[in-house]
């Protein structure tokens, strides 16, 4: 019972692992005992995160570049992890992007780019890692949704909201298909989190106040706030939980 959150000996892949949230999750999984494979398109960035995980946790970490929109690139990542470790226990899909446009002017080429990464990329990664987990009869998948997956938002976010709504339903549909195989599929749904892409909000006192006051707990989220949910969903502590999104949002979606 006391070891139910331990990830010792588990092999975890974190896509988007050098991003604001992905890096915190990759480090958190490593500190809780997992061997982490950090992935994104930028080899230099993932090498740096892998080195930091090893330094902070004492656990081995590996960096393998991958473009989640390409099945060939994903196959290469999965093959390399299988070759090195023989298994994949945890997949965290922390990659993602946003492209904001007024809905009347939304270029469909940008809409497609957004769906390519957030929706197609999530499915490609789930499908590839899920096949390995099917062979093992074991594994756990965690997608990154958003409060914007269940709450609309202004400010040019129609495309982003649509992709995150899709991530919510990919999570539920795969959870149902794969429940008999012992593969839980869940998601984390953050509200605004301060990352390099959103730092300008934290640095502007007026904007920071506006965003913080919309959150019942009165502050903006930090990447570290997401770690507990990820460790829980990756570990045996959540063994009977599937198809759920855990909103780590300071109470925002309780409204």
Ligand X SMILES: NC(=O)c1ccc[n+]([C@@H]2O[C@H](COP(=O)([O-])OP(=O)(O)OC[C@H]3O[C@@H](n4cnc5c(N)ncnc54)[C@H](OP(=O)(O)O)[C@@H]3O)[C@@H](O)[C@H]2O)c1
Binding ligand X (rule: CB under 6 A), the pick from 11, 22, 77, 211 is 22
Task: Measure the CA–CA gap between 226 and 93, rounded to whole angstroms.
Answer: 13
Going through the chain in order, the beta strands assigned E by DSSP cover 11-15, 35-39, 61-63, 90-93, 140-144, 185-190, 245-248
Q: Does 195 bind ligand X (CB under 6 A)?
A: yes
Binding ligand X (rule: CB under 6 A), the pick from 29, 74, 187, 192 is 192
Binding ligand X (rule: CB under 6 A), the pick from 190, 231, 233, 242 is 190
Binding ligand X (rule: CB under 6 A), the pick from 117, 132, 141, 246 is 117
30-49: which residues touch ligand X (CB under 6 A)?
A: 40-42, 45
Q: Find the catalytic residue in 85, 106, 153, 160.
A: 160
Measured CA to CA in angstroms, residue 244 lies from 50, 124, 149, 174, 234 at distances of 29, 20, 13, 11, 13
What tokens does 9 get? 């000996």
Question: Based on CB atoms, which residue is closest to ligand X, 69 or 158?
Answer: 69
User: Is 211 part of the annotated catalytic residue set?
Assistant: no
Q: Does 77 bind ligand X (CB under 6 A)?
A: no
What tokens does 69 get? 């929109």
Q: Is 148 helix (H, G, I), strand (E, B) or coil?
A: helix
- Residues lying near ligand X in the complex (CB under 6 A) are found at 15-16, 18-22, 40-42, 45, 66-69, 94-97, 117, 121, 144, 146, 190, 192-193, 195-198
């Amino acid at each position: 019972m006391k070891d139910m959150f331990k990830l010792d000996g588990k092999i975890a892949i974190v896509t988007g692992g050098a991003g604001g949230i992905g890096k915190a999750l990759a480090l958190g999984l490593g500190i809780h005992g997992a061997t982490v494979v950090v992935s994104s398109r930028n080899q230099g960035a993932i090498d740096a995160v892998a080195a930091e995980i090893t330094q902070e946790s004492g656990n081995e970490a590996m960096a393998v570049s991958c473009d989640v929109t390409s099945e060939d690139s994903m196959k290469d990542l999965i093959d390399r992890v299988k070759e090195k470790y023989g298994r994949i226990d945890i997949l965290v899909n922390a990659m993602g992007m946003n492209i904001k446009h007024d809905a009347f002017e939304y270029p469909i080429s940008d809409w497609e780019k957004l769906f390519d990464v957030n929706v197609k990329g999530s499915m490609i990664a789930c499908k590839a890692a899920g096949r390995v987990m099917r062979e093992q009869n074991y594994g756990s998948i965690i997608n990154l949704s958003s409060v914007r997956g269940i709450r609309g938002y202004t400010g040019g976010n129609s495309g982003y909201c649509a992709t995150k709504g899709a991530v919510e339903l990919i999570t539920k549909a795969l959870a149902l298909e794969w429940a008999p195989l012992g593969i839980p599929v869940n998601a984390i749904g953050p509200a605004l989190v301060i990352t390099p892409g959103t730092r300008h909000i934290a640095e502007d006192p007026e904007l920071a106040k506006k965003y913080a006051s919309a959150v019942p707990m009165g502050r903006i989220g930090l990447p570290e706030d997401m770690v507990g949910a990820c460790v829980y969903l990756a570990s045996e502590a959540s063994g009977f939980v599937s198809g759920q999104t855990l909103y780590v949002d300071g109470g925002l979606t309780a409204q």
